[in-house]
Amino acid sequence: MVLGGYSLVYKTPKRRTAYLLAVSLFFYFKTSGIFLLLLLFTICSDYFWGRKIVEATSTGKRKFYLTMSVLLNLILLCYFKYAYFFTESYNQLLETNVPFFNHFAQFSNSFFGTSFSVTKLLVPVGVSFFTFQSLSYTIDMYRKKVEPVRNVMDYGFFVCFFPHLVAGPIVKAHDFIDQIYKPYELSRRDFGMALFWILNGFCKKITADYIAVNFVDRIFDNPNYYSGPEVASGIFGYSLQIYMDFSGYTDMAIGLALILGFRLKPNFNSPYKAASTSEFWKRWHISLSSWLQEYLYFPLGGNRNGSLGSYVALGVIFIFLVLLTGELWLLYVLMVLASLLAMAALISLKIKQAINTNINLMVTMLLGGLWHGSSWLFVIWGGLNGIGLVIHKLWQKISPFKNNETWPVRVVMIAVTLTFISFTRIFFRSNDMATVQMIFERMRFHSDWSLLPQIIKGYATVFAVMAIGYIIHWIPEPAKQKYRLWFADMPHAGQIMIAVMLVFAMYQLMSGEMQPFIYFQF
C-alpha cells in the first residue's frame, strides 16, 4: 500500500518527502501513540536551533545554540530512560519514600483527555535512536559539515524516515540530508539487492526467534534448571540470537530504504569474524560505534590525550554509579581512587600518558552501556568491553602475533574474541545480578561435559540451526558478495521463486507469535 502511493509521487522530491514524512509519522503513531508529540517536539526544536546556529554572527552564540540543543535532547532522553532510576536513587540515598510522578502523563491527560497512569512511565520506542540522529544535525551544523535543510518538513523526514526510525541504523546528518534533494534512482541491480536484504533480514529474524524461544530464553529465565554445558551453549546461542535479531532489522531497513531510493550505511560487518575487541567494535552496531567515536570519543581527545570533557564525563559516570548503588560510601571510594590516579599522573609522565590515552575508551564504553539503560548490568557490560579495548591496546605492544595473519592464529583469536564478547553479554541479557551469579555457578560447579552428547541429541534441531547460522556468518566476504550479486542479477521469476521458498522454510521455524525486536526497547 505504501509503495503504491509512493509510485505516484517518487519522481518529485518535494512530494516524495511529504509523502514519506506522513507515512513515517503514522508509523510512529501506530507504534508509540501519544509519544508522537515527543518526536514532533524533537524535530521542531532541533530545526529551530539548527537555523539559529546558521544565522549566528559569533562563535559564542553558535556554542550557546548548540548547547541548548544538546541539553534539551539529553534532558528528554534522560527523563524517559532514567526517571524511575533517579526517583529510586533519591529515596534510597535520603531514606525517603517520594512516589514517582509522570509529568508527561499528567500533561497528556490534561490536554488530550487520555487516561495514562501518572505513577508509571513508558519508554518511547526508539527514543535513543531518533535523539542521536537529531543531535547529529545540530552538531554537524555547528561544525559546518552539512548544509541546512530547506524547511522543517525536510528535517522531519531526515529524523523520522520510518525504515530506520525505531531501531537504526543511526543516520548522521552529513550522510543522509543531501539524498533528500537528489532525484530518485533505482537500477535493476539495486532492486535485486534491496530484495536480497529484505529477505536476508526476514530469515535472520525468524531464526533468532526460533533460537530464543526454544533454547536461549529458557536458559536465562531459569539457569538453575540446566547444566554448565547447557548454560554455556545458551550464552553462545544468545550471541547469535542478538546478532541475527538486530542485524535482521537493519538489513530489512536498508533494503526497504533502497527501494525508496535512499542509501543507508551498513550497520554490521560479520562481527564474529573479529580477531580482537577493537575489530569487533568496528564491525558491530557500526552506526552507534561511529556516532560515539565521532561525537564523543574524538571530542574528548581520542587516543591522543585526555581533556576537561573526559574528566567531566567520568565525573558524571561516577555520580551514576553512586546513584545506582544508593550508597554514599562509594562516592568517597571513587574520589579517593581519582585522587590516587591524579597523584600518580603528577609523579610519572608515563602513567599520566597511559591514563589520558585510555580514559576516553573507558568513558565512551561506559556511556555506551548507560545508553542502553540505567542498570548495573549495562554499566558492567560497557565497562568490561572498555577493559577489553584497553587490554587489546596494551597487548598490541607486546604481542608476538601482531603481524601474523596466518589462518591458525586468526582462528584462535576469533575464538577468544567471540568467547569474551559472549560472556560479557551475560550481564547484558540477564534480568538481575542473581541470574548472573546463578549462571556462573552452574558453569563452575555443574559442568559435567560427559553429558554433552546427550545435550546435543536433546537440542539437535536448535544446535543444527545455530551451527548453520555461525557457518553462514563465517563465509568469506568475497563469497557472500558473489551470491548477493548472483541473486540481484537473476530474472525476477527466479527471485520470486527463491523468495517463496525462503518464506516457506522460515514458516517451518516459526514458534508462535513473532518476538519484538530486541533493540526496540532502546
pLDDT in tens, 310-344: 666 666 666 666 666 666 666 677 777 777 766 76
Q: Is residue 384 part of a domain?
A: yes
pLDDT in tens, 392-428: 888 887 777 777 778 888 899 999 999 999 999 999 9
Q: Is residue 454 part of a domain?
A: yes
Q: Is residue 358 part of a domain?
A: yes
Q: Indicate whether 162 and 140 sit together in one domain.
A: yes
Domain end (from 154, 184, 214):
184
- Across the range 152-179, mean pLDDT stands at 87
Q: Indicate whether 44 and 131 sit together in one domain.
A: yes
Q: Is residue 215 part of a domain?
A: yes
What sections of 328-476 are H helices per DSSP?
328-347, 349-372, 376-398, 407-429, 433-445, 452-458, 460-473
Integer Cα distance of 401 and 416 in angstroms: 14
Q: Is residue 19 part of a domain?
A: yes
Q: Indicate whether 164 and 132 sit together in one domain.
A: yes
Q: Indicate whether 257 and 154 sit together in one domain.
A: no
| Containing structural domain, residue 24 | 2-184
Q: Indicate whether 343 and 215 sit together in one domain.
A: no
Q: Indicate whether 179 and 283 sit together in one domain.
A: no
Transcribe 14-25 into DSSP letters.
Answer: HHHHHHHHHHHH
Q: Indicate whether 31 and 169 sit together in one domain.
A: yes
Q: Indicate whether 250 and 279 sit together in one domain.
A: no
Q: Indicate whether 454 and 477 sit together in one domain.
A: yes
Q: Residues 102-109: contacts with CB within 8 Å, 24+ apart?
A: 104/38, 104/79, 108/34, 108/37
Domain end (from 158, 184, 210):
184
Which has the higher per-residue pLDDT, 55 or 120? 55
- Across the range 443-460, mean pLDDT stands at 81
Q: Beta-carbon neighbour count of residue 338 at 10 Å?
A: 14
What sections of 407-451 are H helices per DSSP?
407-429, 433-445
Q: Is residue 519 part of a domain?
A: no
Domain end (from 407, 429, 451):
429
pLDDT in tens, 207-217: 999 999 889 99
Q: Is residue 402 part of a domain?
A: yes
Residue 57's pLDDT is what? Answer: 85
Average model confidence (pLDDT) for the chain? 84
Which grid cell is 277?
Answer: 575487541
How is residue 515 annotated by DSSP? P
Stated pTM of the model: 0.85
Q: Indicate whether 143 and 210 sit together in one domain.
A: no
Q: Indicate whether 508 and 441 sit together in one domain.
A: yes
Transcribe 35-97 into DSSP letters.
Answer: GHHHHHHHHHHHHHHHHHHHH-SSHHHHHHHHHHHHHHHHHHHHHHHHHHHHHHHHHHHHT--
Q: Are 271 and 257 in contact (CB under 8 A)?
A: no
Integer Cα distance of 283 and 289 in angstroms: 9
196 has a pLDDT exceeding 90? yes
Q: Is residue 521 part of a domain?
A: no
- Domains of the chain: total: 3
End-to-end CA distance of the chain: 29
Give me the sign of the Cα torsion angle 422, 214, 440, 288: positive
104 has a pLDDT exceeding 80? no
Q: Beta-carbon neighbour count of residue 474 at 10 Å?
A: 12
Q: Indicate whether 304 and 234 sit together in one domain.
A: no
**Spacing of C-alpha 188 from chain mean position:** 32
The string over 58-91, giving b where at least 16 C-beta atoms fall within 10 Å of a residue's C-beta and e elsewhere, is eeeebeebbebbbebbeebbebbbbbebebbbee
